[in-house]
Amino acid sequence: MSSISIIGLGNMASALADRALAGGNAVEIIGRDPAKAKELAAALGGATVGTAGAAPAGDIVILAVPYASAAAVVSEYGDDALQGKVIIDITNPVSPDFQGFVTPDGSSGAQEIAKAAPAGAHVVKAFNTLFSHVLAAGPAEGRLLDVFIAGDDAQAKTRVSAFIESLGLRPMDTGQLAMARSLENVALLQLGLVAHSVKHTNFFLGVSILS
């Protein structure tokens, strides 16, 4: 099993922490508000509480914060604290009008976060196409949820894939970190479905492999 540090206190942080604990992983909760971090850890049961800005205890660090603050959070930790860590970016850098992205043309949120990370850390995109309540519920109608991942380091992706499997989910490797742009477009597609056809968020997009 894995040792996980989750930076953030929102719905995705809670869903990921809950499934991680159920899968036998060690989980550390980190937030800027120590009281809220302790409250979340207590509600989950079994999670520890870390200190914002201090070196995360986990070998895998999940950025469960809004994209607008993600790169800054990584920069605040500095090179030593994140050296050798696998950083999972779950963010979606969608513009306020839900029509595009706030990232530079040709880049992705994950690639921008990777620029802020130390050379010895490895950024992997994952979980950005799952709504928090769908993730919390897990397999739907007997079908595993697909977690699309992208990253440049093969070993980091292997570690993330093993973590995903411990959650009872199915990792789907999409390629290099540049593919994160496509995964963020999938999230934008989902928002379009919510607005124009599905009209709710009780769904997920996955892969059906035909025999």
pLDDT tens by residue, 156-211: 999 999 999 999 999 999 999 999 999 999 999 999 999 999 999 999 999 999 98
CA separation (Å) from 92 to 8, 63, 67, 111, 155? 15, 11, 6, 12, 24
The enclosing H or E element of 111 equals helix 109-116
Residues in the chain: 211
pLDDT tens-digit series, residues 6-43: 999 999 999 999 999 999 999 999 999 999 999 999 99
CATH 3.40.50.720 fits 3-196, yes or no: yes
For residue 62, give both structure tokens.
Answer: 């999940």
- Return the amino acid letter for 71: A
> Residue ranges of the domains in the chain?
3-196
Report the C-alpha gap between 81 and 202 in whole angstroms: 37
In sequence order, the 6+-apart residues with CB closer than 8 A to the CB of 13 are 6, 7, 29, 40, 62, 64
Per residue in 40-86, pLDDT tens? 999 999 999 999 889 999 999 999 999 999 999 999 888 899 999 99
Q: How far is CA 206 from CA 70, 124, 130, 182, 190, in A?
A: 26, 19, 10, 14, 12
| pLDDT tens, residue by residue, 101-142 | 999 999 999 999 999 999 999 999 999 999 999 999 988 888
pTM score of the predicted model: 0.96
**Do 77 and 53 touch, CB atoms closer than 8 A?**
yes
Dist. CA 180–CA 61, nearest whole Å: 18
| CA angle, 128 then 131 then 132, to 5° | 105
Token pair of 99 as six digits: 């029509």
